[in-house]
Amino acid sequence: MWLPPPPEGTAVCGGFDGSENNDWTVIKLETREGYLFTPRYGPDRLPTIWKPSDWDNKIPRGQIRAAWAEIVETYDLLRAYCDPGFHDETSYETEIEEWATEWPHVDGSPRFVTFPTTSAQRMYPAIRRFEADLQWITHDGCPLTESGMRNARKIIARTGRTYTLGKPAHHQKIDTAVTSVICHEAAADQRAAGWIVEPDYASVSY
């Protein structure tokens, strides 16, 4: 059962994982109560999960911008952690900077912040927090996210002290899982900084 998103005006935090022509590109949102969901955008209410195979094998970056524009207009987006990808021609660093400039907070502080998932110093604590909070995180039942969660595997670092997320096979994508983790990290940091209480609504547990 894929539940509908929360009402317009709900305060949310976001996560973004961008790709070019191989992995999926994903936007996830989370509320203060820990309701993790896949927003919809455009006249066809498409989910904010883009597979290259659906777009002539190249992620439509204009669609991503349009989705963020609608999210900012629909919800009270407090912060979004965004993985820019690799430091090459496929990077989203420029787009993230443009989003931060175009949609800042009223006080001028940025909503969009880079969060490189290749950084073990940032990703490992985020994964551990996500694992600990699974006891109370809820979600909308997005089947694409559930698939990514099932595919995700722990990849142990050479030191044996940390790990990251990896896919068991090339075709078993985990981008929805990775984005869920960094989205939750953004929400957790926002809770620590202060967050106005919102009304409850239906959700299902992981």
**If you average pLDDT over residues 102-110, what whole number do you get?**
91
SS3 label, residue 33: coil
Tokens of 182: 């960094």
Question: Which CATH code fits 11-193?
Answer: 3.30.420.240
Q: Which pLDDT band holds residue 195 (cuts at 50, 70, 90)?
A: confident
pLDDT on residue 196: 57
Residue whose structure tokens are 């929400």: 187
pTM of the model as a whole: 0.91
What CA–CA distance (Å, rounded) separates 109 from 123?
23
Exposed / middle / buried, residue 189 (Cβ in 10 Å: 0-12, 13-18, 19+): middle
How far apart, in whole angstroms, are the C-alpha atoms of residue 58 and residue 51?
Answer: 8
Domain boundaries in the chain? 11-193
Instruction: Give the pLDDT confidence of 149-176 residue by residue, as tens digits.
Output: 999 999 998 888 899 999 999 899 999 9
Segment 14-43 mean pLDDT: 95
**pLDDT at site 189:** 96
